[in-house]
C-alpha cells in the first residue's frame, strides 16, 4: 500500500532563517506531487505541483521554492522566512493521470517568530 511521509511535524523558526520541509511517498511510482499551505481556518492554497522529476510548477509568487530530486521525494524550501510563511504545510500525491483523488501527508505546522 502507499504511504506518504512528511517531516518535521512541527517547526518554529525565526524570521530570516532558511526552511526545508521534506515529503516522501512509498508504494507508488511516478506520482504527481503537490505542496499546499493552509492558514488557520482557511482552505488549501496550492503552492507547487510536479508531474515528474525536476518538473516544478509554481502556482503563486512567493518566498518559497520546491524541488523534486527523486521520483518520490518533494522538498519545499525558503532561503529567508517571513512571518507570513507561518501555516500548516501539506504534501499530497495523486496517480499520474487526471481524475484521481489526492492523498495527503500528516502535515507540518510551521510557526515563524
Partner 1 sequence: SQKIEQNSEALNIQEGKTATLTCNYTNYSPAYLQWYRQDPGRGPVFLLLIRENEKEKRKERLKVTFDTTLKQSLFHITASQPADSATYLCALAGSSNTGKLIFGQGTTLQVKP
Q: Of 18 and 108, which has the nearer Cβ to partner 1?
A: 108
Please select the residue that binds partner 1; options are 19, 49, 66, 85, rule is CB under 8 A: 49
Is 71:29 a contact under the CB 8 Å cutoff? yes
Is 50:74 a contact under the CB 8 Å cutoff? yes
Contact region with partner 1 (CB under 8 A), list: 14-22, 65-73, 75-83, 84-92: 84-92
103 binds partner 1 (CB under 8 A): yes
Q: What's phi and psi for 71, nearest 5 deg?
A: -55, -40
Those residues whose C-beta lies under 8 Å from the C-beta of residue 36, and which sit 6 or more positions away, are 44, 45, 46, 47, 89, 90, 91, 92
Question: What's the min distance (Å) between Cβ of 20 and partner 1?
Answer: 19
Question: What's the min distance (Å) between Cβ of 50 and partner 1?
Answer: 9
Is 14:80 a contact under the CB 8 Å cutoff? no
Q: In the complex, which residues of this chain contact partner 1 (CB under 8 A)?
A: 32, 34, 36, 41-44, 46, 49, 51, 57, 88, 90, 92, 94-107, 109
Amino acid at each position: 500500500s502507499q504511504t506518504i511521509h512528511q517531516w518535521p511535524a512541527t517547526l518554529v523558526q525565526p524570521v530570516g532563517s532558511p526552511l526545508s520541509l521534506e515529503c516522501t511517498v512509498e508504494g507508488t511510482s511516478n506520482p504527481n506531487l503537490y505542496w499546499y499551505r493552509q492558514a488557520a481556518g482557511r482552505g488549501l492554497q496550492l503552492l507547487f505541483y510536479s508531474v515528474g522529476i525536476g518538473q516544478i510548477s509554481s502556482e503563486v509568487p512567493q518566498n518559497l521554492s520546491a524541488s523534486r530530486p527523486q521520483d518520490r521525494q518533494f522538498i519545499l524550501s525558503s532561503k529567508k522566512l517571513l512571518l507570513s510563511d507561518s501555516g500548516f504545510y501539506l504534501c499530497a500525491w495523486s496517480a499520474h493521470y487526471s481524475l484521481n483523488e489526492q492523498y495527503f501527508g500528516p502535515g507540518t505546522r510551521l510557526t515563524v517568530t
